[in-house]
Structure 1
């Protein structure tokens, strides 16, 4: 992996995301209940606090969970919920060590179809179907990982120029479009909920 991403809108953070499979997975894991850029800056912050150039699944999996949680909780915290996110990242790294010898890129390296890759992503701790589809779309659209049927497996996130998720962020302009789409979706969900209650 060696591409230039622009998700975190921070050169050092984006450089790590573009060269490290584990950093990209960790950013995706952190991407909930916080702004997207904040989530994807997280891997760089964690690596810096661990005194490393990159994230290492073996190293994180071997850490004491409380010690690792303290790394994420340092001010400024890596996430709104640093304790629970530290636990999830720890579990993700343990899973990668157990199933892929700590090599995060092995999750997709030899996947022959989009459906197979989606299945592997859904098996990762902290990855539900939607998160797995968004990450699959990111792999296909920006990281050149395009097994047969990847767009179909990624669902609506795989559509060309859909601006639905981080998979479509290539700079400030597309970030604004994705953010607008998310706000529209939230407003629609809120309207549907209040219509149901009335």
Structure 2
């Protein structure tokens, strides 16, 4: 990947995300119930604790589960729920080893349509439709992956000039806009729930 991502807002963590497709997938997997920057710094923290500059799906897939959970749980923890996330990361890596020989970029390399790419992403452990659409939008908007119909497959996350998700973060200003959008969505959901009671 020849692009510099700015999702962790940390130069070393973002450098890893930019060069490692697996790190980007793991960051996306971690992006729930924690701040976005924390989630996307996770892959770098994991790599450092494993004593390497990169992540290797084969190595993670075969690491002792208790040891891997302990690695994520060490302070500061990689995620609010380090034990369950350690299990999910290992499941993701095991799936990549089984289906793509451990090569995360093979998930999207040579895919012809956005629909096919969305289907592949949704098949990944820990990736529901929304997470798959956001990652598809990230691939299209920032990582030069443009299968036919990718914007449509990404749903609203594929909209140009929007600030809905990590796919739209290119620096501190866009991060603030995405965060504001998420707060607006939460407020609207809360108001709708209150009105329905």
In the alignment, the residues of structure 1 paired with residue 179 and residue 196 of structure 2 have an alpha-carbon distance, to the nearest angstrom, of 26
Superposed CA RMSD: 0.4
In the alignment, the residues of structure 1 paired with residue 54 and residue 148 of structure 2 have an alpha-carbon distance, to the nearest angstrom, of 30
1:18-33 matched pairs, under 5 angstroms: 18-33=18-33
Q: Aligned pairs, how many?
A: 197
Gap regions ≥5 residues in structure 1: none
In the alignment, the residues of structure 2 paired with residue 172 and residue 73 of structure 1 have an alpha-carbon distance, to the nearest angstrom, of 28
- TM superposition shift of 1:2: 2.4
Matched, 1:60 2:60: yes
- TM superposition shift of 1:160: 0.4
Deviations 1:95-151 (A, max 9, x none): 000000000000000110000000000000000000000000000000001111000
Q: Give the aligned partner of residue 187 of structure 2.
A: 187
Instruction: Report the TM-score when normalising by structure 1.
Output: 0.99
Instruction: Report the TM-score when normalising by structure 2.
Output: 0.99
- TM superposition shift of 1:3: 1.2
Q: Which runs of 4+ in 1 moved over 4 A?
A: none
Q: Give the aligned partner of residue 89 of structure 1.
A: 89
Gap regions ≥5 residues in structure 2: none
- TM superposition shift of 1:161: 1.1
Q: Give the aligned partner of residue 71 of structure 1.
A: 71
In the alignment, the residues of structure 1 paired with residue 65 and residue 162 of structure 2 have an alpha-carbon distance, to the nearest angstrom, of 38
Q: Give the aligned partner of residue 6 of structure 2.
A: 6
